[in-house]
Structure 1
Amino acid sequence: MTRAWLFPMLFVLGGSAVAASLFAKGSPGAAVTLLLVFALLAGLNSPLVFPRSIPAAEAERRSAADGRPVVYWRPGCTYCLRLRMRLGRRARRLYWVDIWRDPAGAAAVRAVADGNETVPTVVVAGQPHVNPDPAWVRDQLSRSA
């Protein structure tokens, strides 16, 4: 749980330190702007941007029942964030598995990515696809609906 919040907390702490320094030097406008930028970066790298994560076993069971893709992801991954942002509201229709919270999800990713935890890994109809194009994922999602 704490690992998922490491990057966002580093952004907030680092931004606060730099903003405090700017404020002390007499630049309150720049300090506030910089703090807002770092807060935005923290938010984008937090688990809050992604739909609620479920365990890998549950995601696989649900996917087998309704054909929706499963996305294995982790907080702080820029490619996962890119996929999430490009899917927009459609991202809620996918099953998201946070590999940092679910050891079985991490093992599933390592099994298809040569022992690496390369994310996002999208499983469609039982076939894994490592770091697929977001347009392709959107297409697969519309086919499963």
Structure 2
Amino acid sequence: MVRGWILPVVFLACGVAAAFRQTAQGSPGAAATYFLVFLLAAALLSPLVFPRSIGAAEARRRSEADGRPIVYWRSGCRYCLRLRLRLARDARRLHWVNIWQDPEGAAAVRAATGGDETVPTVVVAGRPHVNPDPDWVRSQLP
């Protein structure tokens, strides 16, 4: 769980440092701008952007029951963020598994990708798809 927050905390710290420096140089407007930009980047890279993750076993059970795809992801992955943002509201219609929180999910991704933890890996009807196009994922929703 801690690993997913390292990058957002680093961005937030950089934002505070940049804002402090700009304030010390007499530019409060620039300080506010820097801080807001780094805050936005930290928020986008945090686990908060993604729907609540569940375990891999629970995701498989739910997927079998409702036919919705499973998305294996991790914090800080720009391709996962791209998928999440392009799906917009439809993202809540998928089952999300954070591989950094769930070892079984990480093992499922390694099995699907030949030993790598390449994410996002989307499982549709038991078949894995590595880094699929978000429009294709949307078309797979029931």
Q: Which residue number corresponds to residue 77 of structure 1?
A: 77
Q: CA deviation at 1:27?
A: 1.0
Aligned position for 2:123: 123
> In structure 1, what is the equivalent of residue 27 of structure 2?
27
Question: What displacement does 1:112 show?
Answer: 1.2
Q: 1:23 aligns to what SS in structure 2?
A: helix
Partner of 1:134: 134
Which secondary structure does the structure 2 equivalent of 1:52 belong to? coil
Q: Does 1:9 find its partner at 2:9?
A: yes
Q: How does 1:90-109 map to 2 (within 5 A)?
A: 90-109=90-109
Report the 3-state secondary structure (helix = DSSP H, G, I; strand = E; otherwise coil) of the residue aligned with 1:72: strand
Partner secondary structure for residue 111 of structure 2 = helix
Normalized against structure 1, the TM-score is what? 0.96
Secondary structure at the residue paired with 1:101? coil
> Residues of 1 paired with 2:87 and 2:12: CA distance?
27
Match of 2:64 in 1: 64
Give aligned-pair identity as a percent: 69
Cα deviations by residue, 1:20-71 (Å, 9 ceiling, x for unpaired): 1111011111011000000000000111110000000000011011110000
What letter corresponds to residue 53 of structure 2 in structure 1?
S
**For 2:106, what is the secondary structure of its paired residue?**
helix
Task: State how far apart, in whole Å, the 1-side matches of 2:88 and 2:25 are.
Answer: 41
Partners of 1:64 and 1:102 in 2: how far apart? 19
> Structure 2 CA distance, aligned partners of 1:131 and 1:80?
8
Unaligned runs of at least 5 residues, structure 2: none
Please give the alpha-carbon distance, in whole angstroms, between the structure 2 residues aligned to 1:115 and 1:10: 29
Structure 2 length-normalised TM: 0.98
Superposition CA RMSD, Å:
0.6
Give matches, 1:25-64, under 5 Å.
25-64=25-64
Q: Which amino acid aligns with 2:32?
A: V
